[in-house]
Amino acid sequence: MFLLVITIPAFLFSAGQKEGAGNTFNMMIKGEPTTLDPQQFRDDDATSIIYAVHEPLIRIGGTGGRGTEYGLAEKIETNKDYTVYTVYLRESNVWADGTPITAEDVVNTFRRVVDPALGSKKVNDYFLLKNAESIYNSRTESSDAEPIQDIPFEELGVKAKGTFIVEFTLENPVEFFLDYLKTPGWAPVQKRSSGQIWRTLWHRS
């Protein structure tokens, strides 16, 4: 059992947290997390920490955690066949440095994860997004294979439709897509900071 005293980089916080205030907390977990990157972690030890420091678009809520409540989003609409979900962000959302959380942050989060350069072991989790698998595979062909033209990241089914409006388009109908959005692996990260090295600082006790 570990007692973690974690100093979280400012860009992890959202929805009104201010830099320099409340950026350290204690938490008991069974082991050391490998990363706090929402799009890269695979170990259970990171899950509760990521839930604590990353605000998702929607959160687990209700009795027994079986419901849903809004996080960064204030409204979500879907089309009739559940292939397009439109997410309206709360305009009051800010990162810890005071900059607004925008649709571009959300779009960049998912372009980032389907880029083989990130090396995410979770990339398959995002292949329900339109063109996600094709974009990834177009950049990962073996050296002895016939070259494939890279599919632009702009073809990914996550698009900004306004400063605070994000449209998710899926490969196939998924009525329970909101269940994905409330998991830690679908939490947005700040665009200008997502290229930084992710690391945790902790002390064993």
Task: Write down the pLDDT at residue 100.
Answer: 93
Percent of the chain with pLDDT over 90: 46
pLDDT, tens digit, 9 for 90 and up, residues 129-175: 999 999 999 988 655 556 668 899 999 999 999 999 999 999 999 99
The H helix count followed by the E strand count for the chain is 4, 8
Task: Write down the pLDDT at residue 97.
Answer: 83
Task: Write down the pLDDT at residue 134.
Answer: 94
Compute CA 190 distance to the chain's CA centroid, rounded to the nearest angstrom.
10
Q: Residue 199: pLDDT band by 50, 70, 90 thresholds?
A: very low
Percent of the chain with pLDDT over 70: 71
Return the number of other C-beta atoms located less than 10 Å from residue 109's C-beta. Answer: 21
Q: What is the pTM of this model?
A: 0.79
pLDDT, tens digit, 9 for 90 and up, residues 114-132: 999 988 888 999 999 999 9
- Alpha helix segments (H runs only) across the chain: 44-53, 103-113, 132-137, 177-181
pLDDT, tens digit, 9 for 90 and up, residues 19-49: 445 556 666 667 676 677 788 777 676 677 7
Task: Write down the pLDDT at residue 18.
Answer: 47
First to last CA, the chain: 8
Compute the average pLDDT of residues 189-201. 57
Task: Write down the pLDDT at residue 144.
Answer: 56
Task: Write down the pLDDT at residue 16.
Answer: 44
Question: What domains, with CATH codes, occur in the chain?
Answer: 2-193 (3.90.76.10)
Phi, psi (rounded to 5 degrees) for 144: -95, 5
| Angstrom distance (rounded) from CA 135 to CA 133 | 5
Radius of gyration of the chain (CA): 17
- Alpha helix segments (H runs only) across 43-198: 44-53, 103-113, 132-137, 177-181
For tokens 């170990």, the residue is 43
> Does 8 score more than 60 pLDDT?
no
Return the number of other C-beta atoms located less than 10 Å from residue 96's C-beta. Answer: 24
Helix (H) or strand (E) holding 187: none
Sheet containing strand 73-78, edge to edge, reads 73-78, 84-89, 165-169, 158-162
